[in-house]
Amino acid sequence: MDLHSLDMDVVRDDPEDGRWAAFVRRDQGADGQFVVAVETTCIYCRPTCPARRPLRKNVRFLPDAATAERQGYRACRRCKPHLAQLPSEALVEKVKALIVADLEAPPGLDALARAVGLSAAHLQKTFKKHTGLSPKEFVSAVRLERWKAELRAGKPVTEAWLEAGYGSAGRAYAAARKQMGMSPAQYGKGGAGQRITWTLLDTPLGALLLARTEKGLCRVAFGENARTLESMLRSEFPAAELERASPESDVRLRAAAVALGERSGAEQLPLDIRATAFQRQVWQALRAIPSGSTASYADVARSVGHPRAVRAVARACATNPVALAVPCHRVVHSDGSLSGYRWGPERKRALLAAERDAVGPGQV
C-alpha cells in the first residue's frame, strides 16, 4: 500500500441487517444494543425513540453513544440515549464501585457475587463480557492506573504505591516492570531519562507522526497538522528527551515508514507500548489480520478467547496508540459495515480501499 496514493472518497455504510426493522417497530429488546444516528440533523437516538422516524437513507447505526459522540452527533433530548444502560452494564458498574472502594483489600469474587445477587460463575462471565477482564484482573489494572496517576501528580514512589492499594513494594514493582516499560521514578517524571526520536510524514490522509524509543515504535498517529501532533507527543512525555529527525537521517524511522506503506511488514515492526493484558491480546490479534482483509469485533473477541467481550474489544481498538502498526482499521461490524475509528471514519475507508486495491480481487 502506498501512503501517497490513497483514495479519500467517502462511501456510505451498508445497511445493518435487522437494525432498521427493530427501529421501525421500536423494539424494546434493541434498546442498549445500538444507537440510531441521523445524518441530516446530527442527532442520535435510542432504537425505541418515540420521535418521528427519519428516512432510511439518512440513518446510520452505531454501536453506542460514545461512538456517536466521537463522530459529532448530539444526543436526542427526548429519548436521552446517552443515559441508556443495559441492566448488566449497571451491575458491572456496581461491581467496579465495590472494588474501587477498597483497593488495598478488595472483596473477592464470592463476596462480590453475593453483593449483586449472582453466582460467582455468572458474575465472572458477565464482568468479563463487558470489560474484557476478570474482577481480579480489573483490580490489578485499576491499581496500576491509580499508581501512575499518583506518580504524575508528584507523589513519592513509596507513597504512590501505598495510595494505589498495593500491599507490598514487591507487588508494586512487579506490576511496574510488566506494564509501565520504565521505572516508577522515570514515569513520575514524565519519562525523564527516556529518549524518544520522532518524525512527521505528509500523507493524503493528513500528517502522520512516527515516534520510537530504543525498544520500538511508541506512537503512530494521524492528525490534521504537525503542530497538533507534536503538542500531543510532548504532553504525553513532558520530561522525556524528544529528538526530531527526518526519515532519511534515522534508519529505524525510515524502515518503519517503508513498512507501514507496504502490503506486509508493518505487523513485524517492534513496538514499545503500554497495555493491559487484554489490550495486548487484542492488539496482537489485530496484527494477524492480513492486509486487504477485515475481521469483525466478534471475530476478534473469539480469537482472544473471550467471545462475548465484543465491547471490550471495541474499547481496545479505540485506545490503540500505533495506527497502521496495529491495524485497528481492519475491524468492522459483523455485517461488514464500518464503525468508528480513532483517527476518523474517512481515513478508515481510504485505508481499507487502498489495501483492497493493492491485494487485487481473489488474492486475499
- Return the active site residues: 45, 328
Burial of 244 (0-12, 13-18, 19+ CB in 10 A): middle
What is the distance between the alpha carbons of residues 314 and 179, in angstroms, rounded to a whole number?
A: 21
Closest CA to 315 of 89, 157, 81, 123: 89
Distance separating alpha carbons of residues 239 and 189, to the nearest angstrom: 6
Pair 329, 351: CB distance under 8 Å: yes
Question: Three cell numbers at 325?
Answer: 502498526
Q: Please state, as a whole number, how many other Cβ atoms lie within 10 Å of the Cβ of residue 103.
A: 16
Contact 78, 49 (CB under 8 A): yes
Quickly list DSSP for 54-122.
PPGGGEEEES-HHHHHHTT-EE-TTT-GGG---HHHHHHHHHHHHHHTTSSS---HHHHHHHHT--HHH
Cβ burial of 16 (10 Å; 0-12, 13-18, 19+) is buried
